[in-house]
Structure 1
Amino acid sequence: MKRIIFIITIFLTIFLNAQKYNLASSFPISDEYFGLKIVDEYRNLEDLKDVKVVNWMKSQSSYTDSLINLIPNRNYYLEKRLELDKRQLYSISNVKIISNNKYFYLKKNAGETVAKVYYRNGFLGKEELLYDPVSFNSLINGNSSSKSEHKYLINLISPSWDGSKLAISLTEKGKELSEVIIMDVKKKTVLPEIITNTNPSNIGGIKWLEDNSGFFYIYYPVIDNKDSLFAKNTRLVLYKIGEDPKKLKDVFSNINNPELNIGKESYPAILTFNSDDLYYIGILVDSEDFRNTFIISKKDLLNGKMNWKKLYTKDSKVHNIRLIGNDLFFLSGYNSSNYKLCKTNILNPDFKNPKTLIPENENEVLQDYTITSDGIYYTTNTNGVEAKLYLYKDGKNILIKLPYVSGNIDLQSKGKNFSDIWVSCSGWANDVQRFRYSLQTNNFSLENLVPAIEYPEFKDVIVEEITVKSYDGTQVPLSLIYNKNLKKDGTSPVLMNGYGAFAESYSPYFSISYLLWANKGGIVAVPHVRGGGEKGDQWHVDGQKLKKPNSWNDLIACSEYLIEQKYTSSKKIALLGASAGGILMGRAVTERPDLYGAVIIESGVLNTLRVEKNGTGGTTIKEYGDPNNSIEYKGLLEMDAYHHIKKGEKYPAMLISTGINDPRVKPWMSTKFVAKLLANNGSENPILLKIDYEGGHGGSIPIAQRYANIGDIFAFAFWQLGHPDYQPKENTEQ
């Protein structure tokens, strides 16, 4: 058919015009914040049980699917990723190595949609399949649930100290909340009891008793994420194998320990380090790295005594602790933004004047460490992109030369009594490689669990690490990934991906998604803006609460730099952010809509004034601010992208996606943002809402589904940025 592409163009026009007549109903509510009245035009869309709201959301999502289906080469990314997966043969994750050298891990073969649990005795041991989640029968959904209806993924495995038992956490449809089963490893049989109402892959984990007879986990009294009490008043529970899981043994909670003043929105969790430790450490988990922490002797807790004692408070700025005997090792942010490694005695602790083992380095952020019989191995990073490895031994710091320059390092060891140490190195254009390091020979030997794969199609992709001066003179690190043959003529499409919150460093990792974008002639830009942890604790503080505008001003400065240096031009940049990254991208585009050609936000925090009503509102106010505080509410209003939408402003095209089961960022945040944009946008650019009715906060979904979601992002961004492979073209031949 000679004019089929022209017909597609007509359809696109019809679709875009049709959306203008499907605006959401608005029932404005006026709130008062310390004398300032704020009108919320679409408060009614927060009611996800309202049939009209549900129907509008579904109609918008259907419209989005119909429109994206018309983009040429829409399936390019999905097909390419599945093709490359076949080359890889299989992937391995969640590796656990215990002291007797047993390996437990998740493995997904090419063509499989979910990972299974495998086991081997030693690195060279024979691989054995332990568990396939297709056999799981949910206690919550009933044993009669069909396997096609409920697709469960394993999101965490936790072996006992001796490896005789294995706890397996399973979840479905992105809900994150899990059911936990227990396997007898030797018999390869699953015990009949199922633990429910927990979320170990995200909060608290599963911590085994030293005799392998049971474990601790965090119990959620309410698991309906639409309930106002969801994820509140959680409790640390001790479960003994063979007992009825419904008979809870509460060992650490506000109910059980009222004298500790545990807030209803804190998660009481437990830390274990070695099977022969004499103490348990209890922490109150929230959005911050520095936490209120308690201690109790193992003997007392296991004998039913609940005499927890305060160990340190947030003000001590203690992070990443390890316990060996009576010695407590920790990273200290107290008067040291880049951290120092310290030690104190648990019997007479001093966290503000401890013994300093490794002092703060003004140019490198101390990131992680592990203790072995040879000493303390630790890693640092400069600007979040240049990693180094050291060994602290006999009072000296020894720099260890890595096998190759790395942007990111992960350490794994078997514990304080063993010399075994594994170092995993990776970068933007280097797939992760796992090495065993020998101190005796000062040698790295490759011990990959997955065969190294060659990707010749990416051989011309290069990485450029630079710094850009922000509006106030601050130097902001910027990572650029592109083909070495790219011409700096201002025509390249840019995918700018960032986060900038919760002290999370956007460290380099091997991303085929980025490399595929670069192979299409694009540039991937990762601005390491304030709010993250790339340049230490102060870098995080300078992007919090009232200082949050630094985050999007840093991103805007990076955007302007790329335009000035002819990497790209205005309207050729697509912003991509998720979760707290929604603040970054939402405010960048509402502040400077003229700079961007497309914006994609997944599960974005877009209405921060309503953070208390969000999925994790009680903990995230520590990061964003408290709307009930006469000062902090101003910061929340300033970072609220929803309230910065202006009538008649010409906004770029946007694809706003969310998962209906998201327990962290409520779907109404995205819904309200899109509704207000549609009613106020002065341009003809599409504003799309895409709802994943099988997903949650982005994780815990089958890999093909995730690839399809990224494929839609690729297609939408390239379409809007003018990439020729994604443009409907009129065929003028008669």
Structure 2
Amino acid sequence: MKRQILATASVVTLLMGCTQAPAPEPAPAPKEEKTSLVYPVTKTVDQVDDYHGVSVADPYRWLEDDVRESEDVANWVKAQNAVTRAYLEPLDTRQAIVDKLTEIWNYEKYTTPELVDGKLFYRKNDGLQNQYVLYMQDEKGGEPVELINPNNWSEDGTKALSDVVVSPNANYLAYSIQEAGSDWRTWKVMDLNTLETLEDEVKWVKFSSVSWNQDESGFFYTRFPEPKEGEKFQSLNMNAAVYHHKLGNAQSQDNEIYSNAEHPDWGFFANTSDNGRWLVITVWKGTDSRYQVLVKDLQDENSQPEYLVEGFDYEYTFLGSRGDTAYFQTTNNASLGRVVAKDLNNLSGEWQEVVPEIEATLGDVALTKTQIVAHYIEDAKSALYTFDEAGQKTAIALPTIGQVGSYTTSQSTDTFYYSFSSFNYPNTSFKHDLSTGTAEVVNAPNVAFNPEDFVVKQVFYTSKDGTRVPMTISHLKDVKPNGDLPTLLYGYGGFNVSLLPRFSLTRLAWMMMGGVYAQPNIRGGGEYGKEWHQAAVKLNRQNAFDDFIAAGEYLIEEGYTNKDKLAVWGGSNGGLLVGAVVNQRPDLFEAALPAVGVMDMLRFQLFTAGRYWVDDFGSSDNPEEFKALYAYSPYHNIQKGAEYPAVLVLTADTDDRVVPGHSFKYIAALQAAQGGDEPVLVRIESAAGHGAGTPTAKTIEQYADMWAFLAEELDMESRL
């Protein structure tokens, strides 16, 4: 069985030296533009909710309505975008940024190859294509065969090829289609011998891949019931069930394999064992990696799923199997992670430890023919090790400080593929032969920049409570700290997500402009295991905000920048982070980019996937957690008349992960409260979602707006 591991990254991108002269009299044109901004009139409603005896006003509740269903919200979106476009379009640096992004974007890009039954599968982008194209090629060489070109699916590039799963003998390909950035997926099947798309279609799949039968007769998947009319992008996702689809059948004929009516909030991942005998069902109910596991014997038609792991206490991630022995990654008796195995013929038998816990955080694990490949995080950077059958550990040398982006293995061979990148090291694919210990480059990109022109270094700073926090700082070598550099501070700090140094064209462009890019590994992430994550969940969330604020203060103290040249950016949970710290320390930052953020912490659990986040955030239904949430909720802690930094909120109309109502309500409140001269704007993308699947053209335009906004607000003399 092959396992592909994808590195975690920022959901939006999934996510500066000149001296500021004193302003002459009269004020320069940009200042006049700021003070003359006229925001759309946003109506208010008399909505007050009672939370455990506390009355909380929600005057912009109407902005939660779906933009497709509400004419009032649609008109408000148009009016806001008109003001934002009028501000952004004339900015001097914007077109130069578009040109630079277009220039550096225009090179061939490849994903990490996946080997299945002697054939390699990978995606390639010629340069500026909106979507990557899927190819198949014989492992021994020969011309690649184009399988799927999603650029032909829509004129604006908003239909994307999402997940791809090849059948065990490479006769079929199951692939999912993503429309307008939504989390909903529609699955189809291609015959790899004829290259024809079959009539099979599976709909209403979300947060699930598929797993083929060993005989390639069909696959298992998880789906939700079809939403009611008009509720596709906002209703809660409940009552998931595992199904089996037999090739040639209509979806209505699919057999339900497992569900649990007593727990409609449970979700499921279904995976077949490598010998085809077992179905392993992983049960989850939130964002924490704490799972139950059930096993079904597929050789026995009458068998029912039985518990292998009961209770949501620890991580038990299914890695694959050898014969009837299943391998799992777990945090049971190992907060940093280890690998254990179990004979599925004896579910009550003892677990066998295969890879013990070491002094590094276990990220991802995959099986080869005879060995185990393990990706670890050591002080917020990647390390790659292999373990043989005797448990002997061998390190795989990596080029520099950076991130192993993904790797693919096959249990038919001890050869595997992986990718690696850093802020100044473009994403490069390698082929590694474990039998010889040698690696060779498979695809090396040719990006229009010189890596030697840039500095990437790691520092450590002290947070408010004395915690030691790592941070990576990157910039051009000839950009020397002088206390006045335009600096962009990016963060996330939640859901056990680790931010490692990875290559990003958009961040590269920012550094080419002369900016400093700083990425702290604040608590709430997974860089140092379970304890680091738990240190900023629920009642401890303020620790993440304190760490982020301390990072900004460090950059000032160390002579990189000052409060007039410091900007903050984050997406999704990182958008919440930015909204919270801007409320708490508006004096520390000159500009902010909160993207697709969770801004109403009292109602997030009422929409789409929001209920899963209670693991990290807590819930306003709990009196104690309500107090903590209310104390930092970005929407609820905006102060009338306060002087806020320049803010450009980013969201999209088809975001059904963090519904855009969060950003709509937040910016409406901020525009009404702003007591200073700085602009507070919202950029609302159409036919786009939380980030995944966004076409290249839209991405370039978005980042041109973001960087031009920062250049303007930080008085940046761009080098472009």
Query: TM-score, normalised to structure 1's length?
Result: 0.89
Asked if the contact 2:271–2:279 (Cα under 8 Å) also holds between the matched residues in 1, the reply is: no
The DSSP-based 3-state class of the residue aligned with 2:111 is: strand
- Following the alignment from structure 1 to structure 2, what is the Cα–Cα distance between the partners of residues 647 and 631? 26
- Following the alignment from structure 1 to structure 2, what is the Cα–Cα distance between the partners of residues 493 and 331? 42
* 1:447-526 equivalences in 2 (<5 Å): 447-448=442-443, 451-453=444-446, 455-526=448-519
Q: CA deviation at 1:633?
A: 1.8
- Name the residue aligned to 2:36: 17
- The 1:455–1:112 alpha-carbon spacing in structure 2 relative to 1, beyond 3 Å, is closer
Asked if the contact 1:207–1:271 (Cα under 8 Å) also holds between the matched residues in 2, the reply is: yes
- Name the residue aligned to 1:246: 252
- Name the residue aligned to 1:344: 342
Asked if the contact 2:101–2:509 (Cα under 8 Å) also holds between the matched residues in 1, the reply is: no
State whether structure 2 residue 397 is matched by structure 1 residue 390. Answer: no
- Following the alignment from structure 2 to structure 1, what is the Cα–Cα distance between the partners of residues 124 and 434? 30
- Name the residue aligned to 1:144: none
* 1:379-458 equivalences in 2 (<5 Å): 379-385=375-381, 387-410=382-405, 412-448=407-443, 451-453=444-446, 455-458=448-451
Structure 1 stretches lacking a partner, 5+ long? 1-5, 137-146, 728-734
2:614 counterpart (610, 616, 621): 621
- Following the alignment from structure 2 to structure 1, what is the Cα–Cα distance between the partners of residues 511 and 235? 45
- Following the alignment from structure 1 to structure 2, what is the Cα–Cα distance between the partners of residues 595 and 220? 45
Q: What is the identity, as a one-letter code, of the residue corresponding to 1:345? A: D
* 1:201-220 equivalences in 2 (<5 Å): 203-220=207-224
2:355 counterpart (339, 343, 358): 358
Q: What is the identity, as a one-letter code, of the residue corresponding to 1:669? A: H
Q: CA deviation at 1:589?
A: 0.7
Q: What is the identity, as a one-letter code, of the residue corresponding to 2:367? A: I
Q: CA deviation at 1:611?
A: 1.4
Q: CA deviation at 1:273?
A: 4.2
State whether structure 2 residue 76 is matched by structure 1 residue 51. Answer: no
- The 1:42–1:73 alpha-carbon spacing in structure 2 relative to 1, beyond 3 Å, is same
Q: CA deviation at 1:283?
A: 2.7
Once the two structures are superposed, what CA deviation does each residue of 1:219-263 show, in whole Å capped at 9, x if it has no partner?
232345556645222222211111112333221223xxx4xx3x3
Asked if the contact 2:224–2:237 (Cα under 8 Å) also holds between the matched residues in 1, the reply is: yes
- Following the alignment from structure 2 to structure 1, what is the Cα–Cα distance between the partners of residues 683 and 668? 12
Q: What is the identity, as a one-letter code, of the residue corresponding to 2:523? A: R
Asked if the contact 1:384–1:533 (Cα under 8 Å) also holds between the matched residues in 2, the reply is: no
Asked if the contact 1:715–1:726 (Cα under 8 Å) also holds between the matched residues in 2, the reply is: no
- Following the alignment from structure 1 to structure 2, what is the Cα–Cα distance between the partners of residues 537 and 60? 41
Q: Which moved more, 1:184-193 or 1:269-278?
A: 269-278
- Name the residue aligned to 1:732: none
1:551 counterpart (544, 566, 570): 544
Once the two structures are superposed, what CA deviation does each residue of 1:642-662 show, in whole Å capped at 9, x if it has no partner?
111111111000000111111
- Name the residue aligned to 2:8: none
Q: Which moved more, 1:500-509 or 1:614-623?
A: 614-623
- The 1:413–1:172 alpha-carbon spacing in structure 2 relative to 1, beyond 3 Å, is closer
The DSSP-based 3-state class of the residue aligned with 2:253 is: coil
- Name the residue aligned to 2:141: 124
- Name the residue aligned to 1:30: 48
- Name the residue aligned to 1:329: 327
Q: CA deviation at 1:396?
A: 3.9
Q: CA deviation at 1:92?
A: 2.3
- The 1:609–1:171 alpha-carbon spacing in structure 2 relative to 1, beyond 3 Å, is same
Asked if the contact 2:596–2:663 (Cα under 8 Å) also holds between the matched residues in 1, the reply is: yes
Asked if the contact 1:637–1:643 (Cα under 8 Å) also holds between the matched residues in 2, the reply is: yes
- The 1:244–1:613 alpha-carbon spacing in structure 2 relative to 1, beyond 3 Å, is same
1:572 counterpart (546, 565, 569): 565
- The 1:667–1:410 alpha-carbon spacing in structure 2 relative to 1, beyond 3 Å, is closer
- Following the alignment from structure 2 to structure 1, what is the Cα–Cα distance between the partners of residues 33 and 502? 41
- Following the alignment from structure 1 to structure 2, what is the Cα–Cα distance between the partners of residues 348 and 711? 58
- The 1:234–1:76 alpha-carbon spacing in structure 2 relative to 1, beyond 3 Å, is farther
Asked if the contact 1:222–1:232 (Cα under 8 Å) also holds between the matched residues in 2, the reply is: no
- Following the alignment from structure 1 to structure 2, what is the Cα–Cα distance between the partners of residues 591 and 437? 48
Q: CA deviation at 1:75?
A: 2.5
The DSSP-based 3-state class of the residue aligned with 2:136 is: strand
- Following the alignment from structure 2 to structure 1, what is the Cα–Cα distance between the partners of residues 535 and 387? 31
Q: CA deviation at 1:16?
A: 4.9
Q: What is the identity, as a one-letter code, of the residue corresponding to 1:236? A: V
- Following the alignment from structure 1 to structure 2, what is the Cα–Cα distance between the partners of residues 355 and 29? 57
The DSSP-based 3-state class of the residue aligned with 1:330 is: strand
- Following the alignment from structure 1 to structure 2, what is the Cα–Cα distance between the partners of residues 149 and 511? 23
The DSSP-based 3-state class of the residue aligned with 2:581 is: helix
- Name the residue aligned to 1:141: none
Q: Which moved more, 1:674-683 or 1:171-180?
A: 171-180
Q: CA deviation at 1:151?
A: 4.5
Asked if the contact 1:413–1:420 (Cα under 8 Å) also holds between the matched residues in 2, the reply is: no
- Following the alignment from structure 2 to structure 1, what is the Cα–Cα distance between the partners of residues 159 and 584? 41
Once the two structures are superposed, what CA deviation does each residue of 1:19-69 show, in whole Å capped at 9, x if it has no partner?
25x331111422222222222232222233443333122201111011100
- Following the alignment from structure 1 to structure 2, what is the Cα–Cα distance between the partners of residues 410 and 127? 23
Asked if the contact 1:718–1:726 (Cα under 8 Å) also holds between the matched residues in 2, the reply is: no
Q: Which moved more, 1:371-380 or 1:532-541?
A: 371-380
Once the two structures are superposed, what CA deviation does each residue of 1:574-629 show, in whole Å capped at 9, x if it has no partner?
11111111121111111100010111111111111111223312211122112211
- Following the alignment from structure 2 to structure 1, what is the Cα–Cα distance between the partners of residues 140 and 524? 39
State whether structure 2 residue 560 is matched by structure 1 residue 563. Answer: no
The DSSP-based 3-state class of the residue aligned with 1:607 is: coil
| Aligned length in residues | 692
Q: CA deviation at 1:296?
A: 1.1
- The 1:647–1:414 alpha-carbon spacing in structure 2 relative to 1, beyond 3 Å, is closer
Asked if the contact 2:414–2:435 (Cα under 8 Å) also holds between the matched residues in 1, the reply is: no
The DSSP-based 3-state class of the residue aligned with 1:280 is: strand
- The 1:512–1:222 alpha-carbon spacing in structure 2 relative to 1, beyond 3 Å, is same
The DSSP-based 3-state class of the residue aligned with 2:204 is: strand
State whether structure 2 residue 59 is matched by structure 1 residue 61. Answer: no
State whether structure 2 residue 149 is matched by structure 1 residue 152. Answer: no
* 1:663-674 equivalences in 2 (<5 Å): 663-674=656-667
Asked if the contact 2:296–2:303 (Cα under 8 Å) also holds between the matched residues in 1, the reply is: no
Q: What is the identity, as a one-letter code, of the residue corresponding to 1:221? A: P
- The 1:691–1:489 alpha-carbon spacing in structure 2 relative to 1, beyond 3 Å, is same
Once the two structures are superposed, what CA deviation does each residue of 1:463-509 show, in whole Å capped at 9, x if it has no partner?
11011100011011111001222222111011111111110101121
Asked if the contact 2:158–2:687 (Cα under 8 Å) also holds between the matched residues in 1, the reply is: no
- Following the alignment from structure 2 to structure 1, what is the Cα–Cα distance between the partners of residues 499 and 361? 14
- Following the alignment from structure 2 to structure 1, what is the Cα–Cα distance between the partners of residues 243 and 32? 57
- Following the alignment from structure 1 to structure 2, what is the Cα–Cα distance between the partners of residues 486 and 163? 51
The DSSP-based 3-state class of the residue aligned with 2:342 is: strand
- Name the residue aligned to 2:371: 375
Q: CA deviation at 1:304?
A: 6.0
Once the two structures are superposed, what CA deviation does each residue of 1:131-178 show, in whole Å capped at 9, x if it has no partner?
333555xxxxxxxxxx54885221122111111111221122112322
- Following the alignment from structure 1 to structure 2, what is the Cα–Cα distance between the partners of residues 678 and 30? 20
Query: TM-score, normalised to structure 2's length?
Result: 0.90
- Name the residue aligned to 1:184: 191
- Name the residue aligned to 1:110: 127
- The 1:114–1:16 alpha-carbon spacing in structure 2 relative to 1, beyond 3 Å, is farther
The DSSP-based 3-state class of the residue aligned with 2:485 is: coil
Structure 2 stretches lacking a partner, 5+ long? 1-24
Asked if the contact 1:530–1:539 (Cα under 8 Å) also holds between the matched residues in 2, the reply is: yes
The DSSP-based 3-state class of the residue aligned with 2:299 is: helix
- Name the residue aligned to 1:234: 240
* 1:293-312 equivalences in 2 (<5 Å): 293-300=293-300, 303=301, 305-309=303-307, 311-312=309-310
Once the two structures are superposed, what CA deviation does each residue of 1:519-546 show, in whole Å capped at 9, x if it has no partner?
2221001011111101111111111111
- The 1:94–1:7 alpha-carbon spacing in structure 2 relative to 1, beyond 3 Å, is farther
- Following the alignment from structure 1 to structure 2, what is the Cα–Cα distance between the partners of residues 273 and 620? 30
Asked if the contact 1:645–1:676 (Cα under 8 Å) also holds between the matched residues in 2, the reply is: yes
Q: Which has the higher contact order (CA 8 A, sep 6+)?
A: 2
Asked if the contact 2:93–2:711 (Cα under 8 Å) also holds between the matched residues in 1, the reply is: no
- Name the residue aligned to 2:691: 698
- Following the alignment from structure 1 to structure 2, what is the Cα–Cα distance between the partners of residues 94 and 381? 20
Superposed CA RMSD in Å reads 2.6
Asked if the contact 1:458–1:515 (Cα under 8 Å) also holds between the matched residues in 2, the reply is: no
